[in-house]
Amino acid sequence: MGEVRKWFDSSQPQTLQGAVMLCYITAIFGLILMLFSSPVGIVPIVLGVAGYGIANEKRWAYVMAIVVTALVVVLYAWFALTGAYGLLINLLFNVVLFALLLHPQSRSYQKIWFK
């Protein structure tokens, strides 16, 4: 029988569990954004894929989540500095996601258990 896939792994540290949930929430908002206004919503959907990979302990997903989140944080910070203050809540969510992914507990868990 094949490998069991899961959407959420409660055996992971709380920092990774929170990161997976934020990836999914970001992906939902990205899907809504993409459906109603802009193809830019595809970037948050990539985070949803990364969240699924993290839940299934895939190293590529962990790295992808860090890279995409870092790019999104830089982009939203630039927009906020140029006067688009409506994106501050998005910036906050992505900073929290970035911090959860780089937390020492998350990093040590993925070094040991991710394939």
Of 13-27, 60-74, 78-92, minimum mean pLDDT range: 78-92
> Between 14-36 and 42-55, two packed helices, what is the crossing angle to 10 degrees?
150
Residue 3 belongs to some domain of the structure: no
Residue 100 belongs to some domain of the structure: yes
Asked whether 26 and 42 are in contact (CB, 8 A), the reply is no
More confident residue, 47 or 37: 47
Residue 7 belongs to some domain of the structure: no
Residue 43 identity = V
Structure pTM? 0.88
Structural domain that includes position 104: 14-113
Residue 77 belongs to some domain of the structure: yes
What is the total count of domains within the chain?
1
Look-up of token digits 């992808």? 64
pLDDT at 66 (0 to 100):
96
pLDDT at 2 (0 to 100):
60
Residue 81 belongs to some domain of the structure: yes
Residue 105 belongs to some domain of the structure: yes
* Strand, helix or coil for residue 37: coil
